[in-house]
Structure 1
Amino acid sequence: MRLLASLAAAILALVAAAGAASSTGSSVLVVLEPELDKRKFSTFFGGLEKRGYELTFRAPRDATPLVIEDDVPKFSNVIVFAPSTKSFAPDLLPQSLVNLLSHNVNAIFTLSTAQTPLTSLASEFSLIIPPPHTPLISHFPKRSLPPTTIPITPPTSHSILTSNLPPILFKGIPHALGTNPFLVPILKAPEESFATDSDSDSGADALVDAADKGGEGLWAGSSMGVVTGFQAHGGARALWVGGVDVFSDEFAKTEVSKGVKSGNAVFCQDIAKWAFQESLVLRIDSTTHNHVNVTHDADNVPTQYTTNDMITYTTYISKWDPESRRWTPYSGINDLQLEFTMLDPHIRTALPAVRGTPGKYEVTFRAPDRHGVFKFVVDYKRKGWTHLHSAITVPVVPPRHDGYPRFLSAAWPYYAGAISTSVGFVLFSALWLAGDAVSEKARGKKKLE
């Protein structure tokens, strides 16, 4: 009976993985505040369900369903559409949400001009939020929309976004980016936009004063972000959006120019794909190292190397394919590097892909002429992509007593000097001894005469 239960659980896990567009899972908890009608976000939620996600809705103050129970996450992804909520259930407090990232749970957060716990949480991700009730406004270009509803042209080429998207309609609050290297800028504010507590041009005086003072008082220009991602060290992803209206059906159907709808519908699916680890997801399948031209079994990897040995290092890398929903070998990394380190890198070399073998990267190098405990280190970090890290420790030892060459070609002058000295000594000793014998015979002949 127990065997049948285990088999059934394994089958269910395989079925769930097969239906997941995300590399981490298909379950999504949507925290939706009561003031928001989920029917107004049907385009966004419908796109998620079409890709195989299972959406579960919950209010911010509801006690169930729990996001995490007994330190085990119940959902693979979380969407927090509660920009104005000021109190949350215990499992949705800021510290609890940060803890989810350590369990590889992805999250999408939306902000508003109101001061909420999510505003404080944003600072944990190195996002600097302007004072409350200071929305982003722009009077350019001239349009029929309010100044707080801004069309933003997305980057023409961005690894996360679809190419050549129409302008994105945005309404909400901007944020300044800190120096955290894990931040991934996705959409920035227009150059002519600024954050102020007024929709009219009277706010320009505040901008002038802020510019004279310098510092964080100046909330203007393209240095501000409106949609920013965060790639955690363990692989989990968080997405911060300055306004929930970006996901609304109203913005998705609004025309930004005659006959051209906004790019919000496609844009929201693009950023959700990234946040839920559908796109730009890599992993290291295996790594191995061995002496050149020597094949070792997986259980018989060299435990040490000798100085000046020729070493071959090999790694296999895969990329998640959301269409086939499986990991596929990936050879598209052109700037992968390998470091052979002992405190500091002694060798840093390119780790190129091997032609004809998808997903295989290999390099051969000579071990340094220095013994110690070294590491093979692969540390690949690029904005938007999964961080790849691998470290294997291996000692490098001096040659054994019988491992040194007996004769060195560079030492022949010394060999010749030692041999000539020895030969000279023998000849001198022989002549010296022979000379004494001849003199004794000569003196003996003289005595006989």
Structure 2
Amino acid sequence: MWSCWLLGVLAVAARVVLAGATGNRLLVVVESDVQPSYARFLESLDRRGYEVTLRDAASVKKDDALYDYGERAFDHIALLVPELKGLKGALAPQALVQFAQDGGNLFVALSPQLSEAWRDFAREFSLEFAERGTSLVDHFGYDRERDSGDHTAVLVGGHRAHFSAGGAANPIVFSDATRAALATQPLTYRGIAHWIGPNPLAFPLLVPPSTAYESEVPKVSGTGTDAVLTNVEQLERPGDAAQLLVGFDATAPDATAALASAVQLRSNSARVVFVGSTELLQNPSLDNVVTRAVVDDMTAWAFQEHGVLRVVRSTHERCRASEADTRPDYEEEVGVATKMYRIKDRVYFTMEVQQYRDGRWTAAPNDLDVQLAISMLDPYVTLPLEASIVGDVTRYTGTFRLPDRHGVFTFRVNWKRHGWTYLLSEDVAPVRPFNHDEYPRMLSSSWPYVAGAISTMVGFVAFCIQWIYLSSSKVPQKVE
């Protein structure tokens, strides 16, 4: 009896520990008739410690489905209804964006049969999906066992001699083991592709092979060796066909093609992931070990299981020359962040950062290239911080000298990298000029003025002496 009770407690503890950093309440919106096809995907989420709630689109359209008394009822939402036409109520684009702005995470899986409503919702994040009914096609790299003859079962990853095979694009989202496996063994992708617009907060997760392109699904006439593809769209150069998405766009700076992409909100680092294939999450695809690893990494990142950072604390204080170098209490207290600085003071800045990994908070990496900016209207000082791991935190430190300019300065760390939670630390401190009794007795710049005054006094004394001792004999007058 005690052993069973202990196993139950350990199982509950494991579910709590393995959840994401922001919570484990997950809402999965999927139609009831296709729920069995996502059984393995849902089992993996449950095994990783999430409290999965299944609902169909009709029950989620209620206005209060995502909130209880003004508070989020779920920490994450997985939307697996690409053909849903009307996004209303809790599934309205404004409601979903507000859910993300309140700290919730979204995972959206679409398909070639996506509705126009989902295309409009993706545009909220500067993502442009291809037209409904189109699909990713690759005549050079397709799964010959699973392909139906139209070459839409595209192989992503693996090795190709002359062209890029696509694959995982972000090393923070995907583990080294997943990226290494995908580089040798491809996964089968049957879905739709999209462009990433000029949004600096959006970045690709999966990129298509360079030989793939987006087109209407080719029709197959005949069987076996006599099968012929018809209505194949002519592959033109991207400059001649602006609406044609090709795999080479994945590396273009102005039109990035992607099969899966992510966006992190600027305000709270909430994560939104778009995947152009629901088939990638279904049971037959998850039989492939590489596909399962890619899907697990994408969902783990979307639900903030990894790649999560937080600022534990940040402090700054004046570097004192000695113990006798003190200031009034209204300016600073020993061991406490300084309240006010003086121009040209030397300041020691410290920021402690942690990373969420394996269900607990540990020290963050020490190679994040964090910088501190000291600014008023524009940055006056930009300082790279040095990292050192101390216990379960990573301490970033730096020493700098305040400029010869008084005013209200902001000590700001604004660090943004794709895949990591944004680090934002801001503190405001006034910087005053020297008080009248704090200037040195003699300034080197005043020597010309002092020399001028002394020379005037010496000249006046010399003139007086000469005047006093001047001979009093009368000057003979001229006789006419």
Amino acid at match of 1:94: P
What secondary structure does 1:289 align onto? strand
| 1:150 maps to amino acid | V
Question: Which amino acid is the alignment partner of residue 279 of structure 2?
Answer: D
What is the correspondence of 1:284-323 to structure 2 with a 5 Å cutoff? 284-293=311-320, 300-321=336-357, 323=358
Conserved in 1, the CA contact under 8 Å of 2:238 and 2:246? Answer: no
CA distance, structure 2, for counterparts of residue 18 and residue 50 of structure 1? 11
The one-letter amino acid of 1:221's match is G
1:194 aligns to 2:213 (yes or no): yes
Quick one: distance in 2 between partners of 1:430 and 1:21?
Answer: 96
Contact 1:61 1:88 in 2 (8 A): no
Q: Distance in 2 between matches of 1:140 and 1:226?
A: 18
1:124 aligned onto 2:124: yes
The equivalent residue for 2:201 is: 182
Q: Could you tell which deviates more after superposition, 235-244 or 288-297? A: 288-297
Change (3 A) 1:82 1:205: closer
Once residues 229 and 262 of structure 1 are traced to their aligned partners in structure 2, the CA distance between those partners, rounded to angstroms, is 23
Contact 2:101–2:270 (8 Å) recurs in 1: yes
Q: Does the 8 Å contact 2:38/2:283 carry over to 1? A: yes
Which residue in the other structure is 1:408 paired with?
443
User: Which residue matches 1:31?
Assistant: 29
1-side partners of 2:245 and 2:116: how far apart? 20
The alignment status of 1:231 with 2:230, answered yes or no, reads no
Structure 2 counterpart of 1:97, which letter?
A: L
Q: What is the alpha-carbon distance in structure 1 between the residues aligned to residue 71 and residue 170 of structure 2?
A: 38
Q: Distance in 2 between matches of 1:134 and 1:384?
A: 29
Aligned to 1:50: 47
Residues 104-123 of structure 1 aligned to structure 2 (within 5 Å): 104-114=103-113, 115-123=115-123
The aligned counterpart of 2:376 is: 342
**Which ranges in structure 2 are unaligned for 5 or more consecutive residues?**
1-11, 158-166, 220-228, 250-256, 327-331, 475-480
Q: For each residue in 1:319-350, what CA deviation from the matched residue of structure 2 results, as whole angstroms up to 9, or x when unmatched?
A: 112x2x23223242341000011111111110
Bigger CA drift: 177-186 or 220-229?
220-229
| TM-score, scaled to structure 1 | 0.85
Contact 1:188 1:222 (8 Å CA) reproduced = no
Distance 1:183 1:203, change over 3 A: farther
Greater shift, 287-296 or 235-244, is seen at 287-296
- What's the counterpart of residue 396 of structure 1? 431
Partner of 2:146: 145
2:406 and 2:431 in contact (8 A); partners too = yes
Question: What is the aligned partner in structure 1 of residue 38 from structure 2?
Answer: 41
> Mapping of 1:302-381 within 5 angstroms?
302-321=338-357, 323=358, 325-354=359-388, 358-381=393-416
The 3-state SS of whatever aligns with 2:34 is coil
The answer to whether the 8 Å contact 1:41/1:249 transfers is yes
Q: Give 2:155's aligned amino acid.
A: P
Q: Which amino acid aligns with 1:220?
A: V
Query: Matched residue pairs, number?
Result: 414
In structure 2, do the counterparts of structure 1 residues 426 and 18 end up closer, same or farther at CA, with 3 Å as the change threshold?
A: farther
Distance 2:366 2:239 in 1: 48
**Alpha-carbon distance, 1:202 to partner:** 4.4
Match of 1:257 in 2: none
RMSD: 2.6
Q: Which residue of 1 aligns with 2:85?
A: 86
State the alpha-carbon separation in 2 of the partners of residues 222 and 54 from structure 1: 40
CA–CA distance in 2 between the matches of 1:214 and 1:269? 36
Distance of 1:239 and 1:249 partners within structure 2 = 20
Instruction: After superposition, give the CA deviation of every residue in 1:59-85 in whole Å (9 maximum; x if it has no partner).
Output: 011157922233311011111111112
- Worse-matched range after superposition: 15-24 or 244-253: 15-24
**SS of structure 1 residue aligned to 2:44:** helix
Residue 288 of structure 1 and its aligned partner are, at CA, apart by: 1.1
Matched, 1:99 2:111: no
Contact 2:155/2:188 (<8 A) preserved: yes
- 8 Å contact 2:14–2:49 — kept in the other structure? no
Distance 2:293 2:127 in 1: 25
Secondary structure, aligned partner of 1:135 = strand
Contact 1:60–1:87 at 8 Å: present in 2 too? no
Decide whether aligned partners of structure 1 residues 152 and 262 sit closer, same or farther in structure 2, where only a CA change above 3 A counts: farther
Q: 1:66 to 1:174 in 2, by over 3 A?
A: same
Q: C-alpha distance in 2, partners of 1:297/1:56?
A: 52
Between the aligned partners of 2:333 and 2:301, the Cα distance in structure 1 is 38
- Which is further off, 328-337 or 351-360? 351-360
Any gaps of 5 or more consecutive residues in structure 1?
A: 1-13, 254-260, 444-449
Per mean C-alpha deviation after superposition, the further-off stretch among 347-356 and 117-126 is 347-356
State the AA in 2 paired with 1:341. S
Question: Is the 8 Å Cα contact of residues 169 and 262 (structure 1) preserved in structure 2?
Answer: no
Selected match of 2:171 from 136, 158, 171? 158
Q: How far, CA to CA, are the matches of 2:363 and 2:264 in structure 1?
A: 22
Corresponding residue number in structure 1 for 2:186: 167
Distance in 2 (alpha carbons) for counterparts of 1:16 and 1:182: 33
Indicate the SS of the match to 2:247.
Answer: coil
Q: Is the 8 A contact 1:184 1:231 kept in 2?
A: no
Amino acid at match of 1:332: N
Letter of the aligned partner of 1:326 in structure 2?
R
Using the alignment, how far apart are the partners of 1:22 and 1:30 within structure 2? 16
| TM-score (normalised: structure 2) | 0.80
Q: Secondary structure at the match of 1:46?
A: helix
